[in-house]
Amino acid sequence: MTLTQQNISAWDPVEIADGACLHGQIGPFKLWIQRSEDEWQTAIERAPQDDSLVMMKTEAKPDGATWTRWAAADDSRTLALKPLTPDRAVVARPDSPLLFPPGSDLLFFISIPIWLRLLTGQDMDSALFTEPTVILSNSWFGTPTDGTLCYSLRTTARRNRRTIRKRPHMAVCPIHIKNQAPEAVEFQRLCIHAPHLNLYQDKDRLWTSQVDVTYQGNSKTSRTHYGDAPPPASPKARLISEAREPLPKGRIQKSIDDLKSFIRM
Amino acid sequence: MEPSSIELVVQNGWMGARMLPLVRSALLLVIGLPLVHITASMTGRLARARMTEQAGILIRKGVYYFGTALIVVMILQNLGFRLTAILGAAGIIGVAIGFASQTSLSNIISGLFLIWERPFEAGEMIKVGDTLGFVLSIDLLSVKLRTPDNRFVRMPNETLIKSQVINISRFPIRRMDIDIGIAYKEDAGRVMEILTEIADQNPYSLDEPRPLIIFKDFGTSALELMLGVWFAKQDFLNLKNSIMKDIQARFNAEGIEIAFPHLTVYSGSETPPFPVRVTQDPSEQPPAPGSGS
């Protein structure tokens, strides 16, 4: 099943009747929603290793679920799920180290789990919750005395987009690396500021904007650029979610850590 | 200069000229002190928002004390006191008090050093000796702490300058060291791999820096291992509770015995240990023959 099925997208608004229970599933993230006169009720479960996609449909109330009550902002019975990028930077580590020869100019792909925001209200401006589809482990980018709290992500770092599994809860992030240093660089980990990425959707998967990294050697700062358009790998993908934090123009960021512990020759 | 309307009323009314300074002083007190208080609060709030909490407290107190001193000086001048004479007398009294209260002076100077050196700030958690607490404020004579169980502790500045102070929350990440003793019959290498997996699967344990696992010693009753997991300082309780449960659950699932202190008694090097087996409550045993009871 794809994210769009018969012109219905998983992100389209849905109406819910009073007393009805809707169920939807995006990968391992399962959601049940009820609407009563003046409140919403939600229940969430996560099923690891599950890549299913279930569009919102009426279903019986599940037994044993833990429900959360939300005061309704108005009388509207419309809701929608909105996908978002993670709320923190993500440190991607390949399953096995990958070396980039000097002068190389390569594109590879990693998959980042999305966050889901449940929107309600007549203008779809009342957010009930924002939850990750997958709970990522914490990680730290920096030294023990100074740095940034991130999420940790293991990746296969694929070169061929056709070999990437289609999973409704994962967004494919194209990373374009240029090695302008005279030596080979070993990619051990890469810090991607996910809140700076836009989210796009084509007919069967989610994409983020492309990240361009230029490595100029150990003694110089790596240059990182976060795209603001659909990635070249899927130029017709439509924008479904803007970056959580727009990147100030002209800012240079270190994403491949120029401290020697992160990139080794 | 034409007298103000208040002065005309006072001079021409029943109060007379002597009451005028008193009225002025009262007005200064009634209007000035609240104004100083408001100004100090606003300045402190602004400083706290733009700088640190400690800076906010310092600036608020500085503005408050300065403003209050200014009002007192204005009132004294208004009442006709000669400030030079007062300051001279205050100086002599101050020296006398200073000699008599050396400890207070030491605390004041220690407080200045604490503020300058910044080993800790308001809001941080410190440990001094056996006392653990959040710093509420660094004041003139002492530092105020609030313990995790909500007790109030006043610690003289001099004590802090002379003691070892551990600032627990200065750095953004910390390492939690967990000592684990396993039975001698267990495979230490396999247990160390399992501990690595437990740390990697716990969401509060940071993947970087990597968890540290050390085979510490061949202990009296156990093989002593240590698991050191890094965490963001705000996740201390979440990690502590979750990882302890994870370790116990996984050890139970793998059949790994957590050693407890025990002593094995041998009669000699060539013999097996004495088996000890309790079969009956001794109080229920019949008396021995010939005991006379």
Helix (H, G, I), strand (E, B) or coil at B190: helix
Q: Per-residue pLDDT for A159 more than 60? A: yes
Report the residue of A134, A137, A145, A150 to disrupt the B interface, i.e. the one with the largest count of B CBs within 10 Å.
A137
Torsional sign, CA B149, B155, B159, B165 = positive
Helix (H) or strand (E) holding B42: helix B33-50
Report the residue of A49, A138, A148, A151 to disrupt the B interface, i.e. the one with the largest count of B CBs within 10 Å.
A138
Task: Decide if A115 contacts A55 (C-beta within 8 A).
Answer: no
Residue B205 inside a domain? The answer is: yes
Helix (H) or strand (E) holding B155: strand B152-156
Is B212 an 8 Å CB contact of chain A? no
DSSP structural state of residue B152:
E
Q: Chain B contacts of A137, Cβ < 8 Å?
A: 200-203, 205-207
Most confident range, picked from A38-47, B83-92, B144-153: B144-153
- Please name the member of A138, A141, A152 whose beta carbon is closest to the beta carbon of B232: A138
Is B54 an 8 Å CB contact of chain A? no
- Omega before B289 cis (within 30°)? no
Is B202 an 8 Å CB contact of chain A? yes
Is this model's pTM higher than 0.80 or not?
no
Residue A35: CB atoms within 10 Å: 23
Q: Per-residue pLDDT for B280 more than 80? A: no
Q: Measured between CA atoms, how close is A230 to chain B, in angstroms?
A: 31
Q: Per-residue pLDDT for B193 more than 50? A: yes
**Cβ partners under 8 Å of residue B237, min gap 6:** none
Instruction: Please give the C-alpha separations between residue B31 and each of A130, B26, B227, in angstroms, as whole numbers.
Output: 50, 8, 63
**Looking at residue B187, which CATH number applies to its domain?**
3.30.70.100
Record: contact B173-A144, CB cut-off 8 A = yes
d(CA A125, CA A128): 10
d(CA B92, CA B78): 24
> Buried b / exposed e across A157-179, counting CB within 10 Å, b at 16+?
bbeebeeeeebbbbbbbbbbbbb
In a shared domain, residues B132 and B198: no
**Cβ partners under 8 Å of residue A89, min gap 6:** A141, A148, A150, A151, A191, A192, A193, A194, A195
Instruction: Please give the C-alpha separations between residue B160 and each of B135, B144, B167, B261, in angstroms, as whole numbers.
Output: 12, 11, 12, 39
Nearest-CA neighbor of A111 among A58, A171, A190?
A171
Residue B268 inside a domain? The answer is: no
Q: Per-residue pLDDT for B259 more than 90? A: no
Q: Between A68 and B85, where is the model more confident?
A: A68
**Cβ partners under 8 Å of residue B1, min gap 6:** none
Find the domain containing B141 and state its range: 120-167
CA Rg value for chain B: 35
Residue B53 inside a domain? The answer is: yes
Q: Per-residue pLDDT for B90 more than 80? A: no
Nearest-CA neighbor of A197 among A80, A87, A82?
A87
In a shared domain, residues B156 and B225: no
Name the average pLDDT for chain B.
85
Task: Decide if B59 contacts B47 (C-beta within 8 A).
Answer: yes
In a shared domain, residues B182 and B232: yes
Kindly report the length of chain B. Answer: 293
Task: Decide if A29 contacts A46 (C-beta within 8 A).
Answer: yes
Which of B167, B194, B226 is a domain's end point?
B167
Tens of pLDDT, residue by residue over A33-88, are 999 888 999 999 998 888 888 888 888 878 888 999 999 888 889 999 999 999 99
Residue B63 inside a domain? The answer is: yes
Is B173 an 8 Å CB contact of chain A? yes
CB interface of B with A, residues 14-43, below 8 Å: none
Record: contact A139-B206, CB cut-off 8 A = yes
Q: Measured between CA atoms, how close is B160 to chain A, in angstroms?
A: 23
Report chain B's terminal Cα–Cα distance, integer Å: 118
CA Rg value for chain A: 20
- pLDDT of the residue at B3: 60
In a shared domain, residues B73 and B152: no
Kindly report the length of chain A. Answer: 265
Q: Per-residue pLDDT for A262 more than 60? A: no
**Structural domain spans, chain A:** 7-82, 84-115+133-264
Is B231 an 8 Å CB contact of chain A? yes
Is B232 an 8 Å CB contact of chain A? yes
**Looking at residue B144, which CATH number applies to its domain?**
2.30.30.60
Q: Per-residue pLDDT for A116 more than 90? A: yes
Q: Chain A contacts of B173, Cβ < 8 Å?
A: 140, 144, 147
Residue B291: CB atoms within 10 Å: 7
Residue B115 inside a domain? The answer is: no
Structure tokens given for B62: 């500085």
Record: contact B209-A144, CB cut-off 8 A = yes
Nearest-CA neighbor of B175 among B205, B135, B142?
B205
Residue B132 inside a domain? The answer is: yes
In a shared domain, residues B52 and B72: yes
Q: Between B60 and B154, where is the model more confident?
A: B154
Tens of pLDDT, residue by residue over A84-113, are 999 999 999 888 888 888 988 999 899 999
- Residue tagged 């240590």 (tokens): B226
Q: What is the ipTM of this complex?
A: 0.78
Q: Chain A contacts of B172, Cβ < 8 Å?
A: 140, 145-147, 149
Q: Chain B contacts of A91, Cβ < 8 Å?
A: 207-208
- For strands A90-94 and A146-155, give the pairing: parallel
Q: Per-residue pLDDT for B97 more than 80? A: no
